[in-house]
Amino acid sequence: MSISKEEVEKVASLARLELSPAEVELMAEQMGTVLGYVAKLDEIDATNIKPTTHVLDIDNSFREDVMHPSLTQAEALANGPDQNGEAFVVPKII
């Protein structure tokens, strides 16, 4: 299976990744190889098989709606590369 460079660039843009032309070329080749292998799944007819997203038989996991101690604002912001003590700072959006 082959993946075009345009497809790699489109997916990279969706994933918010910027790739160099050399990376685009390499990723196109390697993704093509992996997806070619994954096409093995076509050998199986799974039409009426229910998909599994979770392996254990757990439904909703409820708890009492009570407050617990949590992080302080300063702790929550501490790893932000740019913050003003109240919020994370980002470039102007509008």
Partner 1 sequence: MDVTALTIHAAKDALARGEMTSVELTQEVLDRIDTVEPAVNAFITRTSEGALAQAAQADAMRSRGAGGPLCGIPLGIKDVICTKGVRTTAGSKILENFIPPYDATVMDKLHSQGAVCVGKLSMDEFAMGSGNENCAFGTPHNPWNLDYICGGSSGGSAASVAAGECLASLGSDTGGSIRQPASHCGVVGIKPTYGRVSRFGLLAFASSLDQIGPLTRDVTDAALMLNGLGGHDPRDSTSARAAHEDYTEGLIAGMKGLTIGIPAEYFAAGLSPEVEKVIRHGIAVLQDAGAEVKEVSLPHTEYGVAAYYIIAPAEASSNLARYDGVRYTHRDMNADSLIDLYRCSRSQGFGDEVKRRILLGTYALSSGYYDAYYKKASQVRTLIIEDYKNVFKECDVLVSPVTPTPAWKIGEKSSDPLSVYLSDALTIPANLAGVPGMSVPCGFSESGLPIGMQLQAPHFAEKILLQAGLNLEQGLGIQGKQPALS
Closest distance of CB 65 from partner 1, Å: 13
What is the Rg, in whole angstroms, of the alpha carbon atoms belonging to the chain? Answer: 23
Closest distance of CB 20 from partner 1, Å: 9
Closest distance of CB 85 from partner 1, Å: 15
| CB within 8 Å of 9: residues ≥ 6 apart | 19, 24
Question: Cα(first)–Cα(last) distance of the chain, in Å?
Answer: 42
The angle, 0 to 180 degrees and rounded to 10, between the axes of the packed helices 5-14 and 21-38 is 100
Q: Interface with partner 1 by CB under 8 A: which residues?
A: 3, 7-8, 11-12, 14-19, 23, 27, 30-31, 33-35, 37-41, 43-44, 46, 49-56, 58, 61, 63, 71, 75-76, 78-82, 88, 90-91, 93
